[in-house]
Structure 1
């Protein structure tokens, strides 16, 4: 099965901005005396992206970005169980993401716009 791709009907970049968190990859071991010993936990260092997107409402369900998002999340990604390909907001390169389901996606309505807040983890 091919990896899903971010839908063309949704915004390509986080219009309201984003935040990147780098995980703590350092293991510390306390020694009997002196400084603690430090080493890298692993070579894999996933970045976590917290993004906010503007989704525009439209009477036509094919153009309603909230409906497109719901179909993508619920059907295509099986409620976040599958990864998807999208553009890295930092440098524009293709990257594979997984939605962090421990931080559920949230939508807030502001007039005819829905703010979608997502927490994504780069998995490749």
Structure 2
């Protein structure tokens, strides 16, 4: 029970320091959470692997890079805090194969970076 409690506390602490990026493809960004149920194309390997069966019978490849620009933020009050301007490039690669043999089985993989952004703050002056 102690290990479970420590795991929950540690996971909350880890996630509190960054931003999660759940949309990791062009269609996923356009349709947000609605894309999971209707994923077609190479990125189905990430969002809904069972939906790869509905892809056309050809090899599909999708390579994306999303630019994220976080502007600086200034807080004025009892203590003055400011953050730095930050720029991130988030790559992703998705592949779904054509049918392998007569069984209709397909293979696919996705290489994504769904998390890891953070905001750096300067010490108060």
Please confirm whether the aligned pair reaches a TM-score higher than 0.5, indicating the same fold.
no
Structure 1 or 2, whichever has the larger Rg, is 2
TM-score, length basis structure 2:
0.25
Would you tell me which structure has more helix in proportion to its own residues? 2
